[in-house]
Amino acid sequence: MTADGAIAVFIEPGRKWVFASALDWPGWARRGRTEEAALRALDDYLPRYAAIVARAGLAPVTGVLAVTERHPEPGASADFGSLHEIAPSERQRLPPGDGRRFAALLEAAWVTFDEAAGTAPEHLRKGPRGGGRDTGQIVTHVREAEAMYASKMGLPRDTSVPADPVGALRARIAAALRDPASLATPRNGWPQRYAARRIGWHVLDHLWEIEDKSE
């Protein structure tokens, strides 16, 4: 949030698409064909994001959207459909209070995703050309991605088991955010603020995909 109470937004442009992300609200990020369209999409999704905020036990989002940072060059990831660039402010130290809030939002997103996936039909509505994953494939994709995301944060793999159970891995991610000093960002890794934003966006993007494509 900015000094005047506005919602700080980071703009990440591609050549055909633009992402807008609320920097202090992990998971709330959308894209559009232009910066203005991306901001409209972000605002349009606030009611859906508000449900995650409420589930996390946090006060509702207030304020107007305000672009505070922009990545200077178009990148391929926005066109591909993925966040990629780290905002300069995300390299700053993560205070424990913000870390606890970020962890609560991720936990709410994970629970909501698992519930939606558990009640959704296995076969989801496809696009006009038949593209898109089904529910089980989305769940597998999200879980596999989170294992990679944890390593980018600097979380070592739990070598006591062949693979981190999903719940245990997510608990370790949340615990690291709640105690930011316990985790050192690896070289070429993800700062904690960006990691929370990227993880939150990925799980919510696929949650909303499941909801929208369920018959």
The full set of domain ranges for the chain reads 7-89, 90-213
pLDDT at 3 over 70: no
Give the span between the Cα atoms of 209 and 135, in whole angstroms.
10
User: What mean pLDDT is predicted for residues 14-38?
Assistant: 98
Give the span between the Cα atoms of 112 and 51, in whole angstroms.
9
User: What mean pLDDT is predicted for residues 12-39?
Assistant: 98
pLDDT for res 166: 84
pTM above 0.75, yes or no: yes
Mean pLDDT of the chain: 93
Give the span between the Cα atoms of 175 and 184, in whole angstroms.
14
Assess if CATH 3.30.2390 describes domain 7-89: yes
**DSSP-assigned states of every residue in 137-156:** HHHHHHHHHHHHHHHHHTPP
Q: How confident is the model at residue 127 (pLDDT cuts 50, 70, 90)?
A: confident
**Token duo for residue 36:** 């203005």
Number of C-beta neighbours around residue 10 at 10 A: 24
The two beta strands, 65-70 and 18-22, are unpaired
Q: How confident is the model at residue 5 (pLDDT cuts 50, 70, 90)?
A: confident
Give the span between the Cα atoms of 102 and 100, in whole angstroms.
5
Burial class, 30, CB count within 10 angstroms (exposed 0-12 / middle 13-18 / buried 19+): buried
Give tens-digit pLDDT for 95-118.
999 999 999 999 999 999 999 999
Give tens-digit pLDDT for 161-214.
556 688 999 999 999 999 999 989 999 999 999 999 999 999 999 999 999 999
Give tens-digit pLDDT for 43-64.
999 999 999 999 999 999 999 9
Instruction: Decide which of 5 and 142 is more confident.
Output: 142
pLDDT for res 115: 98
Give every strand in the sheet of 65-70, ordered side by side. 29-32, 18-22, 7-13, 65-70
pLDDT for res 156: 79
- Determine the Cα angle at 212 with ends 208 and 213, to 5°: 120
Number of C-beta neighbours around residue 9 at 10 A: 27
Percent of the residues in the chain that have a pLDDT greater than 70, as a whole number: 94
User: What mean pLDDT is predicted for residues 139-147?
Assistant: 95
Percent of the residues in the chain that have a pLDDT greater than 90, as a whole number: 87
pLDDT at 215 over 80: no
pLDDT at 129 over 70: no
